[in-house]
Amino acid sequence: MALRMTLMMVATGMALATPADAAEVMKLGHIMSPKHQVQLTAQKFADEVKARTNGAVEIQLFPSGQLGQEKEMFESIRLGSLELGFIAGNAIEGFEASEGIFSLPYAFVGHDHVYRVQDGPVGKEIAKRVLDKTGVRYLAFGNIGFRHTLTLARPVRTPADFAGLKIRVPPSPAFVNAFKLLGANPTPIPGGEMYTALKTGVVDGVEGAPDILLDFKMFEVAKNYSLTGHIYTDIPLVIADRIWKAMTPERQKAFADAARAAELYERELIKQGETATFDNLQKAGVTIVKVDTAPMRAKMTPYYDEFAKRIGGPALITQAIDAAK
């Protein structure tokens, strides 16, 4: 009976479903929660890819570090066992130092300044260096935003207030050096462990963008949030170059256009969400402390000099800073 039905379908021209008709599935990982703007941006990218490839490619999303921490996912992308990821620049910096430009303390004066750098020659040069060094290609610059300091016992208003404080930082030279120069004791701890570290008193404070700290429920533990604005965090959308090169030119264009649409979508999310986030924090009993950052910025010169040596000179740094003008 089944054979007769199959023959009838062939005879009447009805298409048979075959594995070739199924969408190609790619995985995309990141460490943020399903409610975070990175997940919303990842979903936008997946939807755009599906539309622009007429359903030929399905992007499956794996938030919350399901596929590993950022360094692990970046290594997986390098090896080709994972196709895509949103990986924070401070993690990529461990593979290519120039990505650390986006983590330079007090280098940027606002979101628009960052976007000009990312869209301009500095962003393109950094992406090229990462590709040449690692075989991982940037599709877009995602962003987390400016990071501030959350402390348990007392707020931070001046460099002197950092003295002796153990502050959780990502394992990145920019963060470690910045907080050393501010007089703190920087303590590198993976993001997934910072809640426990703060709650148990392993550290006296943490630093991060407000939406990240909300995402990790850090404001349940500490209530002093000082607007130090010390570092900006980018989170590029990346793909294994070997996968990119295996695509047709049409497929590459679909992915590139989808990534740009997602990039612009996230920038709008950041603009709309920042004010609401601070309002919600104050309603939750968090004390928002305004800070004069000029004395903090003045302490960063030694790190700028050291970083310039690691990336072949100060030219890229100067270009990035000058983009504010």
Strands 237-240 and 84-86: antiparallel
Return the pLDDT at 192.
80
Residue 3: count other Cβ atoms within 10 Å of its Cβ. Answer: 7
Indicate the residue type of 240.
Answer: A
Alpha helices in 109-148 (DSSP H): 111-119, 121-134
Instruction: Give the HSE-up count for residue 254: Cα atoms under 13 Å, Cβ half-sphere.
Output: 18
Return the pLDDT at 277.
87
Residue ranges with strand state E in 198-309: 205-208, 224-234, 237-240, 287-289
Q: Give CA angle at 217 (213, 220), nearest 5°.
A: 110
**36: which residues sit within 8 A by CB, 6+ positions away?**
63, 211, 212, 215
Indicate the residue type of 124.
Answer: K
Displacement of CA 143 from its chain's centroid (Å): 5
Listed residue (164, 169, 153, 165) closest to 206, CA to CA = 169
Domain 22-144+233-279, CATH among 3.40.47.10, 3.40.50.1370, 3.40.190.170, 3.50.50.60: 3.40.190.170
CATH architecture, range 146-232+286-322: 3-Layer(aba) Sandwich (3.40)
Return the pLDDT at 207.
96
Domains 22-144+233-279 and 146-232+286-322 share a fold: yes
**With left for phi above 0 and alpha for psi between -120 and 50, is residue 236 left, alpha or beta?**
beta
Return the pLDDT at 325.
81
**245: which residues sit within 8 A by CB, 6+ positions away?**
none
Residue 201 structure tokens: 């008193």
Residue 160: count other Cβ atoms within 10 Å of its Cβ. Answer: 10
Return the pLDDT at 21.
60
Return the pLDDT at 166.
98
Residue 98 structure tokens: 């120039």
Domain ranges of the chain: 22-144+233-279, 146-232+286-322
Return the pLDDT at 2.
45
Return the pLDDT at 276.
85
Return the pLDDT at 177.
94
* Residues 55, 303: Cα–Cα separation, whole Å: 48
User: Which pTM does this prediction carry?
Assistant: 0.87
Return the pLDDT at 19.
42
Return the pLDDT at 299.
96
Print pLDDT tens along the chain (325 aa).
Answer: 444 444 444 444 443 333 446 899 999 999 999 999 999 999 999 999 999 999 999 999 999 999 999 999 999 999 999 999 999 998 999 999 999 999 999 999 999 999 999 999 999 999 999 999 999 999 999 999 999 999 999 999 999 999 999 999 988 889 999 999 999 999 999 888 999 999 999 999 999 999 889 888 999 999 999 999 999 999 999 999 999 999 999 999 999 999 999 999 999 999 888 888 898 899 889 999 999 999 999 999 999 999 999 999 999 999 999 998 8
* Residues 232, 250: Cα–Cα separation, whole Å: 34
Q: DSSP character for 248?
A: -
* Residues 206, 194: Cα–Cα separation, whole Å: 7
Note whether 74 and 87 are within 8 A (CB).
Answer: yes
* Residues 177, 183: Cα–Cα separation, whole Å: 10
> Residue 142: what are its φ and ψ, rounded to 5°?
-85, 165
